[in-house]
Structure 1
Amino acid sequence: MINVTQLGYAGVNVVELDSLQHVLDKVCGAEVRRDGERLYARVDERHHRLAFYKADTMSLAYMGLEVESLDALRAAENELRGKGLEVTRATAAEREERAVLDMIHLRGPDGVRIELFFGAVLEKLPLKPGRAISGFVTGELGLGHVVLACADRDAATRFYTEHFSFRLTDYIFWSEAEATFLHCNPRHHTLALMNPCFGMVPGQFNHLMLQVKSIDDVGRAYDIVLEEGIPMVMNLGRHTNDQMTSFYVKTESGFAIEYGYGGVEVDDHDWDVKVFNAPALWGHALQA
């Protein structure tokens, strides 16, 4: 089994960049760089954690899963090939664009591009956030989390837990939705897998989450969203399972950005897997 330490980065194909840049910069407080039809968001000492590419349709372009060394990356490549999976080594241009020392990639369930990498490039200058915030929670916990719709949620869960070191955190089953939450470090979940509910189709990217260090960061961002009339998927609320206090901004491309504070961390030595029948303790009401 391949030991994945965190979600290091993610890339998303988007249909527009202007309003997304404003949300990332002035609402989330990321350091945003625009390069033609590409947008990069920096949230810590790394060159960037998020990349967005202008495209005709929205989709998750890739997710970057970090391993602990170059030797671990080589071993992962050999292990995956030995299991009959098709693995490709990154080109020099791909390594440069991702700002990593080395990377391999393969296709996972529903065609999701999974990139395994080591050696994220660190910036010499401190983070220059788009607005005053206390900072983002990354470090050993990684970027945050991504949520995907799957044609076969159980099969997708087996793929990530049998090939990689993802562990089961918990489940939420509500209405027509069935969601499985997986972790690879103390963050409550790095990856959540759902059935194709609420109009989603298999392989669809639902949302990404950014966690900040203060509830005041969330509150001030929420004020900006309300004042500017920025669309939301869900209003301010608190989740049942990870107990994150957050809200969800709706991007023009169709995916959401969850912006939150205070998530529970997992200790594998005494963690009990639970099943919840609702996603929110309070709030998180769907917005028109």
Structure 2
Amino acid sequence: MAINHRHFIAAQKLSQMSTVHIESLGYVGGNATDLDGWRHFGGELLGMQIEERDTSLALRLDDRCQRILVDLSASNGGAYYGFQLSDGDALDAARLALQGRGVAVHIASVEELKHRGVEAMFHFVDPCGNRLELFCGLAAAEEPFQPSRPLQGFRTGELGMGHVVFSMPSIAEVLPFYTDLLGLRLSDYAEEPFKATFLHANARHHSVALIESAKSGLHHLMVELLSLDDVGQAYDKVKEEEGLVGATLGRHTNDYMLSFYAWSPSGFLVEYGWGGRAIDEATWRPERLQHGPSLWGHERRCCINRV
């Protein structure tokens, strides 16, 4: 299905009518066959605080109980994606709206609520099979955030934990689900050198992006630092390990993020960046990107045995 300018304008109008009001990306869950790899990758290399949770790891970025959950599994990959709503009333309204549009929703079990550290949650899948979770009340941690190595911290708060990018065969077939049903708003889009659409829930340039690819699933998640030096120091550490760099240090054209990409032990990429652009809803106008994804850098590095 072709994507054209009118298609995007329609998507923008539909998102404004949605009764689902997502505030931010709250957490991301991944599967991993190797938790030791994540202890090293998330902690020693990227500076996240690592907490042990039975057969899982909770990775903290701020004062919340966790932002990334890694569950021991027989396979690797992205597992679930939690989007925050303001309160229980907003969550109930969202559930009824999705059910009214024919989406099969499932109320979280007590065990799932405890594992995620949230007050209430329900889940469903998008047209590509990604498990999305809408929740309210992500618990605060009992102790202040303590990074695994010295750094100034991560940019979270009202912006959420960062963003996720999903690969899929057809953006046009999936986009209405994220705009019409879930109410995410169009930031901008690209048709060359590959098709990509960027969607925001708050002032962060995008909390979700969709890219066309033969594969479906999580392409990467992004976390943003408060200091450029922290990004540079992590880049030095990642470069020391063979095959870990997925894309070199560079700066994106649309959100201005200065970042690099590293292969996680779960097989998806983690973008580690600084300097992201903020959107002012009152003045922002979506446009088609015409100058490629990066102003400079972000040279891709291939690595065997990666998904």
TM norm structure 1: 0.94
| Distance of 1:72 and 1:145 partners within structure 2 | 22
Mapped pair 1:269 → 2:282 = yes
Task: Classify the secondary structure of the residue corresponding to 1:120.
Answer: coil
CA contact (8 A) 2:58 2:69 kept: yes
Q: Which amino acid aligns with 1:223?
A: D
Cα offset, 1:232, TM superposition: 0.7
Q: Give the counterpart of 1:187 among 204, 228, 231.
A: 204
Match of 1:279 in 2: 293
Give the Cα separation in 2 of the matches to 1:215 and 1:172: 27
* Alignment-derived partner of residue 11 in structure 2: none
RMSD: 1.4
**Does residue 1:149 correspond to 2:167, yes or no?**
yes
Q: Residues 118, 252 of structure 1: CA spacing in aligned structure 2 closer, same or farther, 3 A cutoff?
A: closer
Task: Report the AA paired with residue 185 of structure 1.
Answer: N
Q: Which residue of 2 aligns with 1:251?
A: 264
Q: Percent identity?
A: 39
| 1:202-281 alignment runs, 5 A limit | 202=216, 204-229=217-242, 231-277=244-290, 278-281=292-295
Corresponding residue of 2:129? 111
Q: Distance in 2 between matches of 1:151 and 1:228?
A: 32
Q: Number of paired residues?
A: 283
- Residue 35 (str. 1) matches residue 57 (str. 2): no
Q: Distance in 1 between matches of 2:264 and 2:142?
A: 31
Question: Which of these residues, 90, 113, 119, is aligned with residue 95 of structure 1?
Answer: 113
User: 2:94: which partner in 1?
Assistant: 76
Deviation, 1:225, is 1.5
Matched, 1:53 2:71: yes
- Tell me the SS of whatever aligns to 2:219: strand
CA contact (8 A) 1:238 1:284 kept: yes
Deviations 1:165-189 (A, max 9, x none): 20000113333x2110000000000
Counterpart CA distance in 2 for 1:190 and 1:83 is 23
Q: Which moved more, 1:16-25 or 1:224-233?
A: 224-233
2-structure distance, mates of 1:68, 1:179: 29
Q: By how many angstroms is 1:229 displaced?
A: 4.0
SS in 2 for 1:224: helix
- Determine whether 1:161 maps to 2:174: no
Gaps of 5+ in 2: 1-18, 303-307
Q: Which moved more, 1:261-270 or 1:250-259?
A: 250-259
Instruction: Report if aligned partners of 2:249, 2:298 keep a CA contact under 8 Å in 1.
Output: yes
In the alignment, is residue 13 of structure 1 matched against residue 13 of structure 2? Answer: no
Question: Residue 106 of structure 2 contacts residue 122 of structure 2 at CA under 8 Å; is this kept in 1?
Answer: yes
Q: Does structure 1 retain, via aligned residues, the 8 Å contact 2:239–2:245?
A: no
> How much does 1:230 deviate?
5.8
- Give the letter for the 1:262 counterpart: G
| 1:173 partnered with 2:191 | yes
Whole-angstrom distance in 2 between the partners of 1:128 and 1:187: 24
1:31 and 1:245 map into 2 onto residues whose CA distance is 23
SS of equivalent to 1:206 = strand
Letter in 2 for 1:5: E
Q: Which amino acid aligns with 2:215?
A: V
| Structure 1 unaligned residues grouped into runs of 5+ | none
SS at 2:119 equivalent: strand
Query: 1:77 Cα shift?
Result: 1.4
| Equivalent residues of 2:47, 2:148 under 8 A apart | yes
| Mapped partners of 2:161, 2:28: distance in 1 | 8
Give the AA of the match of 1:219. Answer: G
Contact 1:102–1:117 (Cα < 8 Å) also in 2: yes
Of the structure 1 ranges 182-191 and 12-21, higher mean CA displacement relative to structure 2 is found in 12-21
CA shift digits 1:144-169 (9 cap, x unpaired)? 01111123211211111111220000
Q: Give the TM-score normalised by structure 2.
A: 0.88
Distance 1:258 1:154 in 2: 25
Q: C-alpha distance in 2, partners of 1:172/1:279?
A: 8
Is the 1:109–1:150 contact (alpha carbons within 8 Å) kept by the matching residues of 2? no
